[in-house]
Structure 1
Amino acid sequence: MVLLTFNIINIEAEAKKGSQINDEDRLKITEDNTKAVLRILDVHDIKASFFVEVSLTGKLQNLIKAISSKGHEIAFYNKNSDLAEIENAKKNIQELLEKQVRGIRQKDVKVSLGNLKLMGFNYVSNIDNANILFPFKRLKRDTEISEEDGLSIVPESISPYSQLPYNDFVFQILPMKYYQNMVLETLQNEEFVLIYLNSWQFTDFRKYRFDIPFYRSLFSGKKMEDKLDALLTFINEKDLAVSRMKDYVF
């Protein structure tokens, strides 16, 4: 099973000297990038899970409704929000969509599982940092879903042969043919492969002059769209099963 997920987060990088990019611009970039992803998913009739950063949920309600109306899952990405902020966002989005928000993803700041369970979450999908060196370290990690404090814990996927994780940077930097082979090899050994990408990776950095490392701008923007399109074409050609996170976990 392929679990395709997207983190909807604003780019944090500062603008290059001589350029100005305000908070409104950053939000518009996130919206436009997400809409590009939605168009590609529509073409291939594939459903995914979108982890929306908690502080953005009140600002992106129209986008969130559009994502949900197309049959995709809405979940949360906790960047640095406290319990009250998460609980309030969950209440508001559930009222907006008339659906339960089942999942949450965390990276640097992690709310306790007990508190997440009390708020009504059913699964947690935590991720690690992805810099230029991290993706190429040899990793050993449990790749099976476990249960803790009444929550399903969904780990990051790792290729059993290359030992590369399926994080945002690996997708962006690897040749697509190699990545496709990695997916097939993983599914021969594991029950699922969890793929996640960030909305900001689809930014045109020639148009928006953010001060980001060179390796992070490689194959971004339209090239990321093309890579996503190639991956989804491959998934359909190989007749690989794809699921939203909440459906697979339960």
Structure 2
Amino acid sequence: MAEFSYRQRTILFTVDVEEFDTAVEFGHTISLAEQIAVSTQGLRLLSDRFDSVGVQTTLFTTANYALHEPALIRELAQKHEIASHGYFHTTFEPADLLKSRLALEKLLGQPVTGFRRARMGFVDPTDIQQAGYQYNSSLHPTWLPGRYNHWGEPRKPFVELGVWQIPASVTPTLRLPLFWLSLKNFPFSFYKQLCLQTLKADGFLNLYVHPWEFTDLAAYEKIPAYVRRYSRNELLNRVENLLRFLQPHGDFNTMSEFTASLTQTASVKA
């Protein structure tokens, strides 16, 4: 499997924009309207921090969420990339790949080229290709007990059936995940150093969070403490601190920009 070098270090700070069904997953009964409202509140707060730092991101958005908040998604699409996170967050079937892409494209009036499945679930590469995507960022190459074991999967971008696979970042040797739960639960200085070490070793960094994390989750007491930890302003400040810490060490890009640079590099090598 070919590995690709990058002309510059690339930081991909991405957001999985979705219905707040995490509360439902842990036993709360809340309406869809509340799920949408919680995510919208967090997304607006997080977007303000992106503006403050001056970074671009990719927002992996469920079609269901986008159709409930069309004005907000159109507004954010002026600054950031919108990619597909499936049609619904709770359920998935292969037909949702094309259905969600077309729904988002109709809403935005522009192409949607990337996909990430909810909870980093497996997606058949043939289905991704046939749905017309240029990249897929659903692979988390580590082991999460009770979720998946992707320990032996590639850590760096690769092409499969003509589609770029862009894994979420894990540390080079121990494959410690650098995802949202690590941002919340690792000592922050340690987490920042792990991100920097991974960026320097791999040439890219692919991180992700969820908007609902940036709201006050105290009322959802059934959600475990390790998930509710550092919500609202504490986590917003932590993210802004991280972005400013990483800013001198690489360029913040959208996923589509990154895959375009990978394609160009691959073409030059060929």
The one-letter code matched in structure 2 to 1:97 is: L
| Equivalence for 1:38 | 47
1:9 aligns with 2:32: no
Aligned residues: 245
- Give, in angstroms, the shift of residue 170 of structure 1: 0.7
- Give, in angstroms, the shift of residue 176 of structure 1: 2.1
The 1:97/1:32 distance shift into structure 2, 3 A limit, reads: same
Structure 2 segments unaligned to the other structure (5+ residues): 1-9, 261-270
The one-letter code matched in structure 2 to 1:88 is: K
Instruction: Tell me which of 157, 173, 181 is aligned to 1:169.
Output: 181
| Equivalence for 1:69 | 78
Equivalent position SS for 2:236:
helix
| Equivalence for 2:251 | 241
| Equivalence for 1:156 | 168
Counterpart-to-counterpart distance in 2, 1:68 and 1:105: 17
- When the two structures are superposed, what TM-score results if normalisation uses the length of structure 2? 0.80
Equivalent position SS for 1:6:
strand
The structure 1 segments of at least 4 consecutive aligned residues displaced by more than 6 Å after TM superposition are 129-132
Contact 1:104–1:124 (8 Å) recurs in 2: yes
The one-letter code matched in structure 1 to 2:127 is: N
The 1:203/1:126 distance shift into structure 2, 3 A limit, reads: same
Contact 2:140–2:169 (8 Å) recurs in 1: no
Structure 1 segments unaligned to the other structure (5+ residues): none
Q: Which 10-residue stretch deviates more, 76-85 or 238-247? A: 76-85
Contact 1:55–1:81 (8 Å) recurs in 2: no
Percentage of matched positions with identical amino acids: 20
Per-residue deviation, residues 149-202 of structure 1 (Å, max 9, x unmatched): 111111121112553112111111122211221122112211211111122211
Contact 1:94–1:101 (8 Å) recurs in 2: yes
**What is the 5 A alignment of 1:136-215?**
139=151, 141-206=153-218, 208-215=219-226
Instruction: Tell me which of 85, 95, 101 is aligned to 1:90.
Output: 101
The 1:151/1:129 distance shift into structure 2, 3 A limit, reads: closer
Instruction: Tell me which of 59, 71, 92 is aligned to 1:81.
Output: 92
Contact 1:16–1:209 (8 Å) recurs in 2: no
The 1:163/1:40 distance shift into structure 2, 3 A limit, reads: same
| Equivalence for 2:134 | 122
- When the two structures are superposed, what TM-score results if normalisation uses the length of structure 1? 0.86
Equivalent position SS for 1:57:
helix
- Give, in angstroms, the shift of residue 3 of structure 1: 0.9
